[in-house]
A = this chain, B = another copy of it.
Amino acid sequence: MRLADGPVRLQPMPPGADAMLIAKCPVRDVLDRIGDKWSVLILKNLEEGPRRFGVLKRMIGDISQRMLTQTLRDLQRDGLIQRTVYPTVPPSVDYRLTKLGQSLMDPLEYLVQWSDRNHQKVRKARQSFDRTPPGAPA
């Protein structure tokens, strides 16, 4: 796979050039987007169809107005969702997945499935680790 634009570095690089290594990694474009706190939640909510701003806010519940606006904007910027403004009074706006956004839901679904099947194991590993820290007495 391509984590970098070229082969993974075997030797240290001058600082700054290495930052580009990650910056150019395609999967980081995705992870930086869906890795944030709200993107996946919003995407999931839009999977069933167009949703208005207020509806999204109520559905998610514990998202601030600020973060909803900002995340929606970022998703739109990346071409994953489309924003439609209806010139009514008061204004109405809805959001929906673009084709690109819909296509992202497929790989995302695999991740969700893995999570559903394995989150218990992760939680158990976590508890076990916390009970018996690395520096534990023999």
Residues of chain A at the chain B interface (Cβ within 8 Å): 1-4, 8-15, 17-22, 25-27, 29-31, 34-37, 40-41, 44-45, 58-62, 73, 76-80, 83, 100, 103-104, 106-116, 118-119, 121-126, 128-130, 134
Contact = CB atoms under 8 A, between A and B. Distances in A.
B112 A110 contact: no
Contacts of A34: 31, 35
Contact of A112 (B1, B8, B37): B1
Copies of this chain assembled into the complex? 2
B110 A106 contact: yes
24 contacts: A1-B37, A1-B109, A3-B40, A11-B62, A12-B58, A14-B58, A14-B59, A17-B58, A18-B62, A20-B41, A20-B61, A22-B37, A29-B119, A29-B122, A73-B134, A77-B130, A79-B125, A79-B128, A79-B129, A80-B122, A100-B125, A106-B114, A108-B111, A110-B111
